[in-house]
């Protein structure tokens, strides 16, 4: 039974970098791994690619032929792959059942939140025997502001419900978060988590980052006119 993961996230969140890191880890452990690039706009892959959608369809040719913009062309490419799933299925079969497969997806948010083509592709993969999990990468910049953080939480929830896979949310680019200047909301949360009184076996430790009353207060401080909406969310 093949296992694998679907790597999703907004543009620039580090999906390809993550996939390359996963390849390096598995290679160091002498475990078989293959990376499948399903982003037809990604023409500079940092990792060895076992299957590349660009050999089947590219964003540029769709834009040129159909006169679509980048976003519309991307949706067209994934819809086309869904309709011609046998192309992907044949190449996955050639990898063998023992290999771990990482699917590197495009950064269009709607693909993982409300568009049906990616969901159907995942369902076909599952039906063929794949055991998959979704890895959702988020830019650390999005947690430095309470409103952005709340938006990200809603986005992650929507993706979890839509893809219907075990879901792991990953905060990417965390190593450069201090370069963003005043961290405000993020800094207060991290200080709360690192408080000496919070033990790792305490429920407070696990829920500190999801302190909803604190988020409501932080949102009210910056956006008082939307207090009712924020509280409802």
Among 83-97, 150-164, 209-223, the minimum mean pLDDT is found in 209-223
Residues near 85 by beta carbon (within 8 Å), at least 6 away in sequence: 121, 124
User: Is residue 82 within 8 Å of residue 115, measured between CB atoms?
Assistant: no
Read off the pLDDT of residues 182-218 as tens digits, 9 standing for 90 and up: 555 555 555 554 554 444 444 454 445 555 666 776 6
User: Is residue 4 within 8 Å of residue 100, measured between CB atoms?
Assistant: yes
Q: Which of 123, 118, 124, 120 is nearest to 136 (CA)?
A: 118
**Where do the domains of the chain lie, and which CATH numbers do they carry?**
3-178 (3.40.50.300), 184-233 (no CATH)
Q: What is the pLDDT of residue 157?
A: 92
Read off the pLDDT of residues 23-55 as tens digits, 9 standing for 90 and up: 999 999 999 999 999 999 998 899 999 999 999
User: Is residue 57 within 8 Å of residue 80, measured between CB atoms?
Assistant: yes
Average pLDDT over residues 102-115: 94
Tokens of 62: 């769709």
Average pLDDT over residues 68-82: 95
Estimate to the nearest angstrom the gap between the alpha carbon of 114 and the chain centroid. Answer: 14
User: Is residue 19 within 8 Å of residue 103, measured between CB atoms?
Assistant: no
Q: What is the pLDDT of residue 200?
A: 47
Average pLDDT over residues 107-125: 95
Residues near 104 by beta carbon (within 8 Å), at least 6 away in sequence: 7, 15, 16, 19, 35, 36, 37, 38, 39, 42
């Amino acid at each position: 039974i093949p296992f694998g993961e679907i790597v999703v996230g907004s543009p620039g969140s580090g999906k390809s970098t993550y996939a390359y890191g996963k390849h390096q880890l598995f290679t160091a452990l002498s475990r078989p791994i293959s990376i499948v690039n399903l982003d037809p706009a990604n023409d500079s892959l940092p990792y060895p690619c076992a299957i590349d959608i660009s050999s089947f369809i590219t964003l540029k040719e769709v834009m040129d032929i159909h006169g679509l913009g980048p976003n519309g062309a991307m949706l067209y490419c994934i819809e086309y792959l869904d309709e011609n799933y046998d192309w992907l299925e044949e190449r996955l079969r050639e990898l063998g059942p023992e290999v771990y497969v990482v699917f590197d997806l495009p950064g269009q948010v709607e693909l993982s939140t409300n568009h049906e083509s990616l969901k159907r592709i995942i369902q076909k993969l599952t039906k063929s025997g794949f055991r998959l999990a979704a890895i959702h990468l988020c830019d650390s910049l999005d947690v430095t502001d309470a409103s952005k953080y709340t938006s990200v939480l809603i986005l992650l929830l929507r993706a979890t419900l839509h893809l219907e896979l075990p879901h792991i949310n990953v905060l990417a680019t965390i190593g450069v978060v201090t370069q963003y200047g005043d961290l405000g909301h993020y800094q207060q949360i991290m200080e709360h988590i690192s408080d000496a009184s919070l033990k790792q076996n305490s429920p407070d430790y696990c829920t500190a980052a999801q302190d909803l009353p604190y988020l409501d207060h932080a949102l009210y401080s910056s956006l008082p006119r939307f207090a009712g909406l924020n509280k409802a969310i």
